[in-house]
């Protein structure tokens, strides 16, 4: 599947997630870590979901992970209606959290649970990029 096969809809950016989306435009994956309990937080937010602390800091993630679960979507909807088939997957990041994303730059049937993947950034044209993953 080529980079241009999937649409790149512009995300809704708010002050809480702006640093994350700004970093994606530079090809960087930022995550937050709670300074109280050390939980790595996904999706970026102000409050730690584990301990409710507001003492969190951004850090640059490795962009490495493994496929935790996936499905090959053969009938797209919405922005994705003409993109099928494509892979929708949960990727477990090296830092711990699991993110819902797409696996790109591969034949959909070649994806496997446990497969190593790396982050790629697909420009939305609006100052941000969507984080997707490709086989490493």
Residue labelled with tokens 């990041």? 93
H or E element that contains 18: helix 18-25
What pLDDT, on a 0 to 100 scale, did the predictor assign at position 110? 97
Entry pTM: 0.92
What pLDDT, on a 0 to 100 scale, did the predictor assign at position 4? 45
In this structure, the number of other CB atoms found within 10 A of the CB of residue 52 comes to: 10
Q: How many domains does the chain have?
A: 1
What pLDDT, on a 0 to 100 scale, did the predictor assign at position 88? 96
Residue 4 lies in a domain: no
Closest alpha carbon to 50 in 63, 38, 66, 64: 38
Residue 124 lies in a domain: yes
Q: Are 39 and 33 in contact (CB under 8 A)?
A: yes
The C-alpha angle 35, 36, 39, rounded to 5 degrees, equals: 75
Residue 112 lies in a domain: yes
pLDDT tens per residue across all 136 residues of the chain: 344 479 999 999 999 999 999 999 999 999 999 999 999 999 999 999 999 999 999 999 999 999 999 999 999 888 888 888 999 999 999 999 999 999 999 999 999 999 999 999 999 999 999 999 999 9
Residue 93 lies in a domain: yes
Residue 15 lies in a domain: yes
What pLDDT, on a 0 to 100 scale, did the predictor assign at position 18? 96
């Amino acid at each position: 599947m080529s980079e241009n096969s999937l649409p790149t809809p512009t995300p809704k950016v708010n002050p809480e997630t702006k640093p994350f989306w700004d970093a994606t435009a530079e090809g960087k994956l930022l995550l937050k870590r709670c300074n109280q309990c050390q939980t790595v937080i996904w999706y970026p937010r102000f409050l730690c979901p584990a301990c409710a602390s507001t003492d969190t800091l951004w850090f640059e993630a490795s962009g490495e992970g493994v496929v935790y679960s996936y499905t090959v979507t053969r009938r797209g909807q919405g922005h994705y209606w003409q993109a099928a088939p494509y892979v929708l997957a949960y990727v477990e990041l090296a830092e711990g959290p699991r993110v819902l994303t797409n696996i790109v730059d591969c034949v959909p049937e070649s994806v496997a649970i446990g497969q190593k993947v790396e982050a790629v950034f697909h420009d939305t044209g609006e100052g941000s990029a969507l984080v997707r993953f490709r086989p490493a």
